Amino acid sequence: MMVKRVVFLHRKGLGGSGSKIMRCDQLAAICRQYLGDEYRFDVVAQRPIRNPVALVKSCRALRDCVVVLLKGTAAQFGEEGMELLRHHARGVCIDYVDADVEAAFSSRADVHIGASHAGCRLLGDVLARAGSAGAQAKVMHLTHHADPRLAGVRCRQGQAVRVGYLGNPANLYLPAAARRKVEVLQYTRDADIAEVFDALRDFNIHYCVRALAPDVDRKRMAKPFTKGFTAAAMGAHVMTARDTDDALHYLGADYPFLLESAEDSAIVNALDRAEAMFGTSAWAEAEERLAYLREMSSPRRVAEEMNDILELFD
């Protein structure tokens, strides 16, 4: 049986970015583990395409492959180049992850991949507006997994609530009144995030509150629930706002660590409630949601979703 080739294609120069590491390198490794008997998975850096000769060469190199372009990569090809790529490739997908769906969209893609259910809804809207140009394309969901290096790593529950934040400080909203209760973990760059994984074990609640985005941004961009999956992978709770993309989908409306709003008073009150809840039956009952998140974002399930996408091109 011929093994079909799948190429995760990213822009050259993004080697150290979090999205490239997780949605290309780590995703390829997950797929090799579960789908490697039928497919060969490669990660390839796409150099800038400066002339027609380079475009033809790039497309021919991907002949008969299923190509998954990481956000922004399709723009390097342009619409005519995407059409040429589609001619040579077995199938063309765009993985939008947390990109501006309008800016990253190409009507020449066969599959538009959302890393969240909220993102899939945005992509559905864009595809509907594309009309006949995208009539044959599909929107498919591909869960944004937790970092596989956390496999088997569990938080130290300790004797009290400890709340931590892991991520880009630029994405964090933490009011001054709450700063003594939330520790922000420091690391050098995305590629070095594993250097704080052991320290992350000391926190039994992961804080995930973003600064309020303008309404126009929320209509064009959705974020995967990665911090929720990361917390669940470690057996920690996640504290986030109700309107966080996919939070209600995975946690349910009655999850006790959902914020009614991202206002300062609501955040401080939620942190106080968490301290009062520690060690109670309500805390233990909420842990059932963590098991659900772990299952829904497990490598096996992610590979099953990828298989659903790849089977479209058999």
pLDDT in tens, 6-47: 999 999 988 789 899 999 999 999 999 999 999 999 999 999
pLDDT for residue 133 is more than 70 = no
**What pLDDT is stored for residue 212 in this prediction?**
73
Q: What DSSP string describes 147-169?
A: PGGGTT------SS--EEE-S-G
Domain residues for the domain of 59 are 4-145+298-313
Q: Which H/E stretch holds residue 239?
A: strand 237-241
Q: Cα–Cα distance between 250 and 292 in angstroms, integer?
A: 8
My answer on whether 81 and 187 are in the same domain is no
pLDDT at 213 over 70: no
Per the structure, how many domains does the chain have? 2
The pLDDT of residue 179 is 94
- Residue range 152-165, pLDDT digits in tens: 999 988 889 999 99
Q: In this model, does residue 132 exceed pLDDT 80?
A: no
pLDDT tier, 262 (very low <50, low <70, confident <90, very high otherwise): confident
304 lies in the same domain as 263: no
Residue 282: what residue type?
Answer: A
Residue 169, pLDDT score:
87
Look at residue 219 and tell me whether its pLDDT is greater than 80. no
Do 154 and 289 lie in one domain? The reply is: yes
Question: Residue 131: pLDDT above 90?
Answer: no
What is the reported pLDDT for 1?
61
Query: Are residue 180 and residue 117 in the same domain, yes or no?
Result: no
Same domain, residue pair 115 and 49: yes
Question: Which residues sit opposite 42 in a β-bridge?
Answer: 7
CA-to-CA distance for 257 and 255, rounded, in angstroms? 6
Beta bridge partners of 205: 163, 237
Mean pLDDT of the chain: 93
Residue 218 clears pLDDT 70, i.e. is over it: no
User: So what's the pLDDT on residue 214?
Assistant: 64
Percentage of the chain exceeding pLDDT 90: 80
What confidence score (pLDDT) does residue 194 get?
A: 85
Those residues whose C-beta lies under 8 Å from the C-beta of residue 53, and which sit 6 or more positions away, are none
Q: What is the pLDDT of residue 233?
A: 95
Phi and psi angles of residue 92, each rounded to the nearest 5 degrees, phi first: -125, 125
Whole-number percent of the chain with pLDDT over 70:
97
The H helix count followed by the E strand count for the chain is 13, 11
**Mean pLDDT value of segment 191-202:** 90
Whether 272 and 196 map to the same domain: the answer is yes
pLDDT at 281 over 70: yes
Is residue 109 very low, low, confident or very high in pLDDT (cuts 50, 70, 90)? Answer: very high
Q: Specify whether the CB–CB gap between 99 and 76 falls below 8 A.
A: no
d(CA 106, CA 110): 9
Q: Determine the pLDDT at residue 44.
A: 97
Do 183 and 87 share a domain, yes or no? no
Which helix H or strand E contains 7, and what residues bound it? strand 4-11
- The domain that contains 92 carries what CATH number? 3.40.50.11380
Q: Is the pLDDT of residue 2 over 90?
A: no
Furthest CA-CA distance within the chain: 66
3 against 24, higher pLDDT: 24
Kindly state whether residues 212 and 139 are assigned to the same domain: no
pLDDT number for residue 197:
92
Indicate if 29 and 139 belong to the same structural domain.
yes
**Is 182 within 8 Å of 174 (Cβ atoms)?**
yes
E runs forming strands in 32-145: 39-46, 66-70, 91-95, 111-114, 138-141
Task: Give the pLDDT confidence score for residue 170 in this predicted structure.
Answer: 86
- ∠ CA 301-307-308, rounded to 5°: 95
155 and 236 Cβ atoms separated by less than 8 Å: yes
Secondary structure letter of residue 188 according to DSSP: S
What is the number of other CB atoms lying within 10 angstroms of the CB of residue 310? Answer: 22
Could you give the angle at which helices 299-310 and 27-35 cross, rounded to 10 degrees?
Answer: 80
In this structure, the answer to whether residues 178 and 275 fall within a common structural domain is yes
71 pLDDT exceeds 90? yes
Q: Is the pTM of this model over 0.85?
A: yes
Of 71-75, 213-217, 221-225, 242-246, least confident by mean pLDDT is 213-217
| Shared-domain flag, residues 308 and 286 | no
Structure tokens at 187: 């690391």
